[in-house]
Structure 1
Amino acid sequence: MKKISRLLTYLADYKGKIALYFGANLLSILFGLLSFNMLIPVIQLLFGDASINATPAKAPGIAPKGFIEPAIAYFKNLIASQDKLTALAYVCVIVVVFTILKNLFLYIGLYILNPLRNAVLRRLRNDLFAKTLSLPIGFFTEERKGDLISKMTNDINEVELSVMSVLEVFIREPLTIIAYLGTMIYINYQLTLILLLFLPVAGLIIGRISKSLRKSSNLAQEQLGSMLGVIDETLVGMRVLKAFNAEKHQHLKFMKLNNTLFHTRNKIAARRELASPMSETMGIIVVCMILWFGGRMVFSGTGFNGATFIGYIVLFTQIINPFKNLSSAFTNVQKGTSALDRIEGLLMAENAITELPNATPVHDFKDSIEFRNVSFAYGDKQILRNLNMIIPKGKVIALVGASGAGKSTLVDLVPRFHDVTSGEILIDGINIKEYKIDDLRRLMGVVGQDPILFNDTIYNNITLGTGGATLERAEEAARVANAHTFIQNKPEGYETMAGDRGVRLSGGERQRVTIARAVLKNPPIMILDEATSSLDTESERTVQEAINTLMKNRTCIVIAHRLSTVQHADEIIVMDKGSIAERGTHKDLLAKDGIYRKLVEMQQVR
C-alpha cells in the first residue's frame, strides 16, 4: 500500500468529492442492511409457529434486537388488523424501495468516483511526461527508448487496470464488511466471534498468492519494454534490415522476447485467477461452520430462533462478495505495484541539470564564451580533458578532428545538455550554472547533423518554441534558409505535414527547415554540428548558403568533417582524444604540418 501513496496524494485536491462518495456508500450500505433485516421478522411471523401475540424471547448471551423487535411488533399489529398476505405485500414494497435506494446511492458513489480516478491517472501521465522532458540528455543515452515508452504507456495502463480500477473496492468493501459484521455482532456475537477467528486464516492464504505476483509482474513489464525497443528499432531500421536480408534475424529476436513474455504472463494469470476461487472456497467453508454452530444454538433452545438464524446467514452471504472483491483487489494491486515501481523509478530519477534557486536571468550576450579547465566524463570514461579557450562575441570558431574526439560533447556543454565534471564554462564572465536554464538556451540556436522534425506541419516545425510566430515571420526565416521556394511548391505549402521524423521531405529539405527554425529564433550564439555531413553535393551547396547567411553577425561554434566549410573561420580548434591538439587559422595550421594538415591532405583541400 505504501507504493500507491503517490496516487492517493493526488486525491488531496478532491476532499469534498471524496466525502460525498463516502456518504453515498454509507447510505447504500444502510439501505442494504435495512432490506435484508426485514427478512427476520417476516420469516418469524409469516412462516413461523409463533403466535402473533407471543413476546419474542431474549436468549442469554444474545444481544437484544433493537431493530427486529419493533419490526416484529409492527407486523403483529398489521397482521392482526389485516392479514398475513397484506403484511407480506408491505414487506415486498419496503424491500424493493430500500433496494432501489441502495443501488441509487451506489451509482451516485461511482458517478462521483470515476472522474476522480481518471483525474489521478491524468495527473500521473502529466507528471511522468513532464519528468521525462526535464531529464538531461545523458539520461536518454543510458535508458532504452522502448523501456521508457513502456513506462509511459503500458505501465500507466497497468496502474489504471490493476490499481485505480479497484480504488472503490478499498473504500466501499471495508465499509460494507464493517457495517454487516457490526450488525451480525449485534444479532449474535458468539457466532460472529467464531467467524472472525477463521477469516484471518483465509486472508493469509490469499495474501500469499497475491504477494507472489509482484515479482513476476515486474519481470513481465521489463520484457514488454524490451519488446517495444525491438519494434522501435525495427521500424527505424527497416531499410537496413531489407538491404541485408536480416528480416528473419529480427523476427527471431522478436519471437524470443514474445514467447518469454507469453510464458511469464501465463504464470501471472494462473496465480491471479487462483485468488477468486480460493476466496470463494474459504467462504463456503466458513458458511458450513456457521451453519453447524448456529444450528446447534437453534436446536439447543437458547432462544436463537430459526428466523433470526436465517437472517444471520443472509447477512453473512452479503460479506462474502466484499471479502472476495478485496482479495481480488489485493491481488491486482500486487500486480499493479510492479508497474508503479517502474513509474516511480522514472519519476524519482535524479536530474543532474538543476537550476539554482536564485539563478540569474540573462537576455543578452555581450562579450565572450570561456572554457576554463573544462573536463567531462561519462561514468568512468573520460571524454574531455582540461580544455581552455575563449570564444569572443561575433567570431566563428570551428571544431575539427576525428570521430570520438569529443567535439559534439564539447558543444553540448554550452547549453547545459550536460554539465561539466570539473572546471567551468562562463558567458560574459559568469558561470553558466548561475543563469536560468531557459534564458541560457534562448541565447543559442542548434542545427545538428541529424535534422529533427516532428510529425506536424512545416509551419509548426519552423515556429517550434516561439509560442506561435506569424506566418509572415516563418516565411521570412524560410527565405533566409533557402527553404521558402520548395515549401511553396508543396501542395499545401506551409501546412504540409512533415511526416514521422520528417520522412516526407528530402534530407536537404529537412535540414533547411531546421535552419529556418534557428533563423526564426534569432539567437546571438549559433551551434552548428556537422549540419551538411549527411547531404549530397547539390543539397550541401544549398544548405551551406543558408548556413553562411545564418552565421552573419553571430557568434558561431561549428563542427565540421568537411574542412572546406570552415577554412574562413576566425579560429580552428583541432581536437584529439578529448584535448586541444592544435589551434589557429586555416593558414597557420597548414604551416604547422600537424594533425590539421594531414586531415586537409586526406580530403585534398588546399
Structure 2
Amino acid sequence: MRDFWFIMKRYLPPYKHLLVLNFLFNLLSGLFAVFSVALMIPMLEIILSQESEVFTLVEWSFNFSDIKHNLYYYITLLKTNYGPGWSLLFVGVFLIIGTFLKTGFTYLASYASIGIRNGVVRDLRQQIYRKILDLHNGYFSDERKGDIIARSTGDVQEVENSIMSSLDMFLKNPVLIVVFLAAMLIFSVKLTLFVLVVLPLAGLIIGRVGKSLKKTSRSGQNKMGDLMGIIEETLSGLRIVKAFNAEKRMNQRFEGEVEEYRSIMDRLMRRRDLAHPMSEFLGTIVVVILVWFGGTLILTETNTISAAGFLAYLGIFYQVINPAKNFSKALYNIQKGLAAYDRIDNLLSAEVKIKEVANAKSINDLKEGIEYRNVTFAYNHTPVLKNISLYIPKGKTIALVGQSGSGKSTFVDLLPRFYDVQEGAVLIDGIDIRQLKIHDLRNLMGNVNQDALLFNDTIFNNIAFGVENATLEEVEEAAKIANAHDFIMATEKGYDTVVGDRGSRLSGGQRQRISIARAVLKNPPILILDEATSALDTESEKLVQDALEKLMANRTSIVIAHRLSTVRNADCIYVFQDGEIVETGNHVELIEKGGVYKKLHQLQMG
C-alpha cells in the first residue's frame, strides 16, 4: 500500500478542494445513515411496546440519553393524541427525510470524487506524452514501440479502472466506517469492542489473498506489451509478411502469445473474483458470532442493550459491512493497478539524457558556420564516429557519402542534439551546441528525410507543421517552390485533403514534395537532407531535385546521398568509411584522387 499512497501524494495535491468536499459530503452521508437507522428504535419500542412510553420532558443537553428521552416524549405525546397510526407515519416521514439527505450527500461525494479521478488520469496521460516527447531517440531504439504504446494506453486504462475506481472507496469507506463505529460505541461498548476484535481477523485473510494479485497482474501487463509489439510489427511490415507468405508464421507466433496471456488472465481473474464470495462468507460468520454474543448479553445481563436497540445496532453493523467489503474489493483492484503503474513509472522515470543547461544561450540565426571538433560517438561502446573534425562555412553545401553504416546519419543527428557526443564538441558560431537552448537550436534547422513522414491530417496542416499562424498564401507559396501546388490542387479538397496514415494516400514523390514544402515554409538557415531522393522514380526525382535546389539556395546545407549524381555540385564532399572521414574534396578532385569515392562512382556508373 506504500506505493498506492505514493501515487496519491504525487497526483492528488491539485485536487485538495475536491478532497475536502468529498470528505464533508461522506461525513454528512454517514451521519444521516445513522440517523435513519436510529429512528427505527422509537418505532419498535413505543409503537409496538407500551413499556417505553415517556410522559415527562427533561432539560435539553448535548447528551445522547437526554436527546433520546425527549424524542420518546414527543412520540409518546403524538401517539396519545392521534393514535399509533399517525405516530408511525410521523416517524416514517422523518425516516424519508433522513434517507433523502443521506443519498443526496452520497451523490455529492461521488460527484466530487469523479472530478478527482478523471483529473488524475488526465494528468497521468499528459505526463506520459510529455515524457515521450522529452526522451532521446536512443531510448526508443532500445524499447519496443508496441510495449510503449501498451504502457501509454492499456496500462493507463488499468490504472484508471483499478486505482482510480478504488479512490472513491478509499475516500468514502474510512469516513463511513468511523461514523458507524462511533454510533455503535454509543449503543454498546462491549459489542463494539467484540466487533473490533473479530473484523480485523477477516480483513487480514482477505488482504493476504489480495497481495498475490500484483505479481500476476504485472506478468499480464508485460505480456500485453508483447502482443502490442507483434501487432505494431505486423502493421508496419504487412507488405513483407504477405510477400514472403509468412502469414502462418506470424499467426502462430501471435497465437502463442495470446494463449500465454489467456493463461495469466485466468489466474488473475479467478483470484480477483474470489474477493466478493470470500468477504461475504467471512461477513456472515462475523454476523452470526455477533448475534450470538449480543443475544447472550440481552438474555444474561440487564441495563446493557434493549432488544430494539440491538436490532438497530445490527442495522448499523450491516451499514459497516458494505464499506468493509468495498474496502477489500478496493485492495484487490489496487494490487492489480499497481502492477500497471510500475510499468508506467519505468517510462516516467527514464533518464532524459538530452538536457538543457541552466542559463542556456539563445540563438536565432547562423552567422559564421558549423564546426565538428574531434567528435567521437558510440551507441553501445562501439564507436560509430571516430575523432571527426570538419568546418562548414555559412551558405555552403557539403555532401556526406559512403557505405551504409559508415556514420553519416549519426553525424547529422548530432547537430540538432538528437544525441550528445561522448568526446569532442559540435559548435555553431563558435558556441558548443550544448550551451544553447534546445528549441532555438532546432529552430535553425529544416529536415527532409528519405522516409517523408506525414501526419494523418490535412495537406495544409502537414506543410504548416511547426510554424505558428501560417496563412494559406504562405503555405501555397511554399508548395509552389516545392513543385507540389499543382498535384495538391488536383486532389479532391485541395489543401484540406487528409493524407492518411503516414501519408498513405499520396505517392512517394508527392509525400517528399510536401515535406520539402514544410521545410520551405519554416525557412531555416541550416538544411539537412538525408537521402531525400533515393526512393523515387526518375520523373519524381527530377521534380524533387528541382525543388531541393530551390530550397538549398543561399542556405547552409548538409546532404547525405548514395546517388553520387545528386551531389556533383556540392562545395565539398566528405567520404565516410567505418566512422572516419577518409577523403575530402569536390567531385572532380575526388575522381582525380582515384580513391574510395572514385570506386563508388565507378560502381554506380557501371
The residue number in structure 2 matching 1:542 is 543
Residue 317 of structure 2: aligned partner:
316
CA distance in 2, matches of 1:77, 1:379: 90
SS in structure 1 of the partner of residue 377 of structure 2: strand
Taking the aligned partners of 2:338 and 2:468, their CA distance within structure 1 comes to 39
Query: Corresponding residue for 2:517?
Result: 516
Instruction: Assess, with a 3 A threshold, how the Cα gap between structure 1 residues 7 and 309 changes in structure 2: closer, same or farther.
Output: closer
Encode CA deviations 1:236-294: one digit per residue, 9 max, x unaligned: 22211111111111111111111111111111111111111111111111111111111
User: Is the partner of 1:370 in helix, strand or coil?
Assistant: strand
Amino acid at match of 2:236: V
Instruction: Output the CA distance in 1 between the equivalents of 2:31 and 2:64.
Output: 20
Which residue identity is paired with 1:332? N
How far, CA to CA, are the matches of 2:316 and 2:65 in structure 1?
15
Whether 1:327 aligns to 2:331 is no
1:492-571 equivalent positions in 2, closer than 5 A: 492-571=493-572
Q: Counterpart of 1:83? A: 83
Aligned to 1:414: 415
Amino acid at match of 1:320: I
CA–CA distance in structure 2, aligned partners of residues 27 and 185 of structure 1: 18
C-alpha separation in 2, matches of 1:2 and 1:479: 61
Which position in structure 2 is the counterpart of 1:60? none
Q: 1:306 to 1:479 in 2, by over 3 A?
A: same
Cα distance in 1 between the residues matched to 2:269 and 2:67: 45
CA distance in 2, matches of 1:147, 1:447: 29
Secondary structure, in 3 states, of the residue corresponding to 1:533? coil
- 3-state SS, counterpart of residue 575 of structure 2: strand
Structure 1 position 591, deviation (Å): 2.1
By how many angstroms is 1:12 displaced? 2.2
Cα deviation per residue 1:97-152 (whole Å; 9 max; x = unaligned)? 10011111111222222123212211211111111111111111111111111111
Q: Distance in 2 between matches of 1:69 and 1:273?
A: 47
Aligned to 1:471: 472
Corresponding residue of 2:428:
427
- 2:561 alignment partner AA: A
Q: Distance between the aligned counterparts of 2:55 and 2:478, measured in 1?
A: 99
| TM-superposed deviation, 1:235 | 1.6
Counterpart of 1:298 in structure 2 is 298
Does the 8 Å CA contact 1:65/1:186 hold for their aligned counterparts? no
How far the C-alpha of 1:158 sits from its partner, in A, is: 0.9
Residue in 2 aligned with 1:350? 351
Q: Following the alignment from structure 2 to structure 1, what is the Cα–Cα distance between the partners of residues 405 and 138? A: 16
Change over 3 Å in CA distance of 1:300–1:64 after alignment to 2: farther
Note the 1:47-446 alignment, pairs <5 A: 47-48=48-49, 50=51, 52=53, 65=65, 67-303=67-303, 304-446=305-447
Residue 42 of structure 1 and its aligned partner are, at CA, apart by 2.0
Name the CA shift for 1:524/1:64 in 2 (closer, same or farther; >3 Å). Answer: closer
Q: Cα offset for 1:72?
A: 2.9
Structure-2 separation of matches of 1:310 and 1:43: 9
Deviation at 1:49, TM superposition (A): 6.1
Taking the aligned partners of 1:244 and 1:194, their CA distance within structure 2 comes to 73
Task: State the 1:325 CA deviation.
Answer: 0.3
Q: Distance in 1 between matches of 2:274 and 2:73?
A: 47
Q: Residues 23 and 175 of structure 2 are in contact (CA less than 8 Å); yes or no, is this contact kept in structure 1? A: no
For 1:390, what is the secondary structure of its paired residue?
strand
Q: Report the CA distance shift for 1:575/1:66 in structure 2 as closer, same or farther (over 3 A).
A: farther
Could you tell me which residue of structure 2 aligns to residue 598 of structure 1?
599
Q: 1:14 to 1:533 in 2, by over 3 A?
A: same
2:367 partner SS: coil
Q: Root-mean-square deviation (CA), in Å?
A: 1.7
Q: Deviations over 1:143-172 (max 9, x none)?
A: 111111111111111111111112111111
Paired residues of 2:527 and 2:558 also in contact (CA < 8 A): yes
Amino acid corresponding to residue 174 of structure 1 in structure 2: P
TM-score normalised by L of structure 2: 0.96
Match of 2:273, SS?
helix
Contact 1:458–1:498 under 8 Å retained in 2: yes
Deviation at 1:64, TM superposition (A): 6.9
- Partners of 1:487 and 1:65 in 2: how far apart? 86
Q: How many angstroms does 1:54 deviate by?
A: 9.4
What is the alpha-carbon distance in structure 1 between the residues aligned to residue 592 and residue 95 of structure 2?
A: 104
AA at the equivalent of 1:171: L
Contact residue 394 and residue 553 of structure 1 kept, 8 A: yes
Contact kept, 8 Å, 2:54 with 2:73, in 1: the verdict is no
* Letter matched to residue 207 of structure 1: G
SS in 1 for 2:227: helix
- After TM superposition, the structure 1 stretch with the greater mean CA deviation from structure 2, 98-107 or 534-543, is 534-543
Distance 1:449 1:68, change over 3 A: same
1:64–1:187 Cα contact (<8 Å) kept: no
Who is 2:60 aligned against? Answer: none
> In the TM superposition, what is the alpha-carbon distance from 1:574 to its structure 2 partner?
0.9
User: How much does 1:399 deviate?
Assistant: 0.7
How much does 1:8 deviate? 4.5
Retained in 1: the 8 A contact 2:23–2:171? yes
Question: Displacement, 1:7?
Answer: 4.5
Is the 1:397–1:558 Cα contact (8 Å) retained in structure 2?
yes
What amino acid sits opposite 1:586 in the alignment? H
What do residues 215-250 of structure 1 show as CA deviations (whole Å, max 9, x unaligned)? 111111111111112112212222111111111111
Q: Classify the secondary structure of the residue corresponding to 2:212.
A: helix
Q: Is the 8 A contact 1:455 1:498 kept in 2?
A: yes
**TM-superposed deviation, 1:422:** 1.4
Q: Tell me what 1:58 maps to.
A: none
Q: Decide whether the 8 Å contact of 1:40 with 1:68 is kept in 2.
A: no
Aligned length: 598
Query: Could you tell me how far 1:413 is from its partner in structure 2?
Result: 0.2
Quick one: structure 1 residues 295 and 594, their matched pair in 2 at CA, closer, same or farther if it must change by over 3 Å?
same
1:491 counterpart SS class: coil
Q: Secondary structure at 1:415's aligned position in 2?
A: coil
Q: Give the match's secondary structure for 1:397.
A: strand
Q: Distance in 2 between matches of 1:553 and 1:312?
A: 89
CA contact (8 A) 2:55 2:73 kept: no
Tell me by how many angstroms 1:67 deviates.
Answer: 4.8
Conservation of the 8 A alpha-carbon contact between 1:198 and 1:286: yes
> Are 2:41 and 1:24 aligned?
no
Structure 2 distance, partners of 1:246, 1:511, is 31
Which whole-Å CA distance do the structure 1 matches of 2:574 and 2:370 have between them? 15
Aligned AA for 2:329?
A: S
Distance 1:422 1:66, change over 3 A: farther
Which residue number corresponds to residue 15 of structure 1?
Answer: 16
Partner of 1:578: 579
Q: Where does residue 59 of structure 2 map in the other structure?
A: none
Q: Contact 2:55 / 2:77 at 8 angstroms: preserved in 1?
A: no
- Asked whether the 8 Å contact 1:65–1:187 carries over to 2, the reply is no
Secondary structure of 1:269's counterpart equals: helix
Q: Match of 1:132, as an amino acid?
A: I
Aligned-partner Cα distance in 2 for 1:224–1:592 = 57
For 1:78 and 1:492, the matched residues in 2 are separated by 81
Residue 76 (structure 1) shift: 2.8
